Amino acid sequence: MGLFKKKQPKTIEHEEPFKIPQVTESDEGLLTSKPKFSMGEIGSVFFGSQIKDKVVYSDNQGSVNVDSAYDAFRSEEDKHIKEEELLRKYGSKYPEFSKISNKEREKLFGVKYEPPVEDKIKSVEPKKKKLGFSFVEDINEKTQIVEEPKPVDDLTTEQKTINLDINFDDEYEYNSFDPKLEEPKASSIPSFLFKSSADDTKKEEPVVEKNTTEEKPLDLEKKEEEIIYDDNKPKVEENITTTPKVVSSKYDDYKLPPLDIFKKSSASSDEVPAWLEEKKDIINDTLKSFDVEGEVVNYTKGPAFTRYEIMLAAGQKVARVKSLHENFQMNLGVKSIRILAPIPGKKTVGIEVPNDKTEMVCFGDIITDEFINSENKTMVMLGKDIDGNPISRCIDDMPHCLVAGATKSGKSVCMSTILISLLLKNKPDELKLILVDPKQVEFSFYTGLPHLITPIITDASLVPGALKWAVDEMERRYQVLNANRVRNIGDYNKKAKAHPELALEKLPYIIIVIDELADLMTGGGAEIEDNIKRITAKARAAGIHMVVATQRPTVQVVSGNIKGNIPTRIAFRVAAFVDSNTILDEGGAENLLGKGDMLIKDIDAPQRVQGAFVSDDEITAVCDYICGEAAPDYVFTHDQLKKSMENTQIKNEQAEAGESNELLYDVASFCVNSKSCSINGIQQQFNFGFNRAQRIVAILEQKGIVSEKRPGNTSNKGREILVDMHQLNLMFGRGDDDFE
């Protein structure tokens, strides 16, 4: 126990006692240690017998008025504010009991105080017996005549003891404060509610009751800035219940398009046609004629093709079946077939053979309950697989998509199914679109939609500006996500919905759809490619996605940088294996049938799907319905986009020229003194890069300081200097004395 002996603190002696308002003086002086408590014989009325019968007022914040706050704990002789001062200043010796009267409340807010029905307790003698009080009436409010407060000496003993002047409510037996009562908001309380009653007492005159309906409404917004907070007065704001702000949208009454617009295809009555068995026998005979031990064990009929599954005998090579590709195609008498050797996840080899009669997959056939009831706003329906199951993808998971294929292979219809799927599930404040249509005919149906950020872009020169805006919006959104400590747009919108009191900005998804990328790359390819790479690289979390289509899937159009950031590819029929390899990084698209037959590749192996068909009438009906629900609300127009691009170009030119002009004189003087001008010499002298040195030499040539480059001049002397130092100073507006 001696090891843990408590160290006694050192006592401090003062010449004069140190006085603190919270500590009362005693004969014992300051306590240097915690005094021991001994239980008294008589228990405290308030605290019992285990605690000292002593009240200590502690001010932890240091913002309380000492003169008024501690008087309740001082004796009559030591009070800082005397009764005369209280009577003169507040009109009462007990200002802490001052509250707003019912009549004053009705005068300020125009609402008569009516407690809830459950709080109205009937009294046997309502005029005699009072159990509680409501709002306290001001002094002499009953007579409405202001009298000068009597001196303390003239007051009776009873008046000195009790001077509350409480006005009991005569209508109800119990009328205490109920927090359920509707109280005014904090922003609507006039400032004069917080002023002292002394000012009102000085200016109070005999009141004549007026009709409150004739009074002008109070300008509460101007009074809001004048609110005065005083610790000595009752804090009315503690009884005020504030309601969270609910951000309303102008699209609250917007209704999504109906689903009965889309037609459904009629089910085929002939489920097992005769030609299925005929083609099965042809495949078996072809295998037998080439001494390949195997036969068709199963087949699956799809909307456009049928897949026959071949089980090979033990020891047979799969490559032998692949080598018979042309023989199968010739014996079956079809345009093209596709061999899966083997089928992913199975022990069989698949041969996909076109059907004699292709069944159309309508868009109404793939609208399922899962699509309608899904909370994911970015789900799009694409078509049906070979088993007849609807195939869907979520753009949020893609997160970007490349659609490529030859002309009339179904590429434009696929783009329409993606757009219609998005329009069926999203309001204009949930989805925004940027449509780029260089051909001017593919997206003409969607003109005037309220979902558009800008009118449909048909001028290729405006595309770099629109993509630059998307890049800037992406950066701005990341700042918003960072400020709210969320990872992506989905978490941000959930937080905004769960906490309406924060009044967060609602961030819609932004889908950028480009119909023909090849036409854009021939113009401003470098700038467009840079913006596409930035968007596809990191715009997913910000809710910005791209769908890019092209009918010329070459390496010059779909570069490796663009394709590397777009993991989802949709390939339609192409002309050659090279094009299929450019899209899918493997073959297969050259053997498709066209007319909606496509391969979808994301992470797994390509999946063959028959794309859904949506007619022009159905697209027009959906767009007309949406345009009838809401008007266009563009973020920027084409004219604003042009002006912004021009300003950006001017700023870049000015910045470039300004950077060159700062060093132009030094470079020119160096060339004049050395009597030669060469790009290599400028690079070595000023530590410039080749491009910057070349640009400065071009500026010197335009100003006439150096000569033009002569074609065929292979000498290392550089360009000829055309001016001397005096002429150079005059050209730059500088005196000779400044440059000695």
Compute the mean pLDDT over every residue in the chain, rounded to the nearest whole number: 75
Mean pLDDT of 37-61: 54
pLDDT for 545: 96
Higher pLDDT, 192 or 401: 401
Q: Over the stretch 198-207, which tens digit does the pLDDT of each residue have?
A: 444 444 444 4
Span 457-483, mean pLDDT? 93
Burial 586-624 (b: 16+ CB within 10 A, else e): ebbbbbbbbbbbbbbbeeeebebbbbbbbeeebbebbbe
Q: Are the CB atoms for 563 and 554 separated by under 8 Å?
A: no
Position 613 scores a pLDDT of 93
Task: State pLDDT tens for residues 568-626.
Answer: 999 999 989 999 998 998 888 998 988 899 999 988 889 999 999 999 999 999 999 99
- Taking the C-alpha atoms of residue 472 and residue 430, their distance in angstroms, rounded to an integer, is 19
Task: Please choose, from the candidates 228, 173, 194, 224, the residue with its C-alpha nearest in 3D space to the C-alpha of residue 98.
Answer: 194
Tell me the C-alpha distance between 71 and 84, whole Å: 14
CB 394 within 8 A of CB 561: no
Whole-number pLDDT of residue 104 = 66
pLDDT band, very low/low/confident/very high, at 112 (cuts 50, 70, 90): low
pLDDT tens, 368-411?
Answer: 888 988 889 999 999 999 988 999 999 999 999 999 999 889 99
Considering only CA atoms, which of 292, 296, 294 is closest in space to residue 309? Answer: 296
pLDDT, average across residues 541-551: 94
pLDDT reported for residue 326:
92
Q: Is 342 exposed, middle or buried (0-12, 13-18, 19+ CB in 10 A)?
A: middle
Which own/partner contact pairs does 472-479 have at CB distance under 8 Å and 24+ positions apart?
473/510, 473/542, 473/544, 474/534, 474/535, 474/538, 474/539, 474/542, 474/544, 477/507, 477/542, 477/543, 477/544, 478/541, 478/542
pLDDT above 70 for 730: yes
**Residue given tokens 């007492």 in the structure block:** 201
Give the pLDDT score at 605: 84
Whether the per-residue pLDDT at 40 is higher than 60: the answer is no
Rg (CA), the chain: 44
| Residues 265, 361 contacting (CB under 8 angstroms) | yes
Among the residue ranges 92-106, 154-168, 359-373, 509-523, the one predicted with the least confidence is 154-168
Q: Would you state the pLDDT for residue 252? A: 85
Q: What's the pLDDT score for residue 659? A: 59
pLDDT tens readout for residues 648-690: 777 766 565 555 566 788 888 889 888 888 888 888 888 888 8
pLDDT of 695 above 90: no
485, pLDDT greater than 90: yes
What are 281-292's pLDDT values in tens digits? 999 999 999 999
pLDDT value at position 644?
A: 87
Whether 321 has a pLDDT exceeding 50, the answer reads yes
Q: What percent of the chain has pLDDT over 70?
A: 65
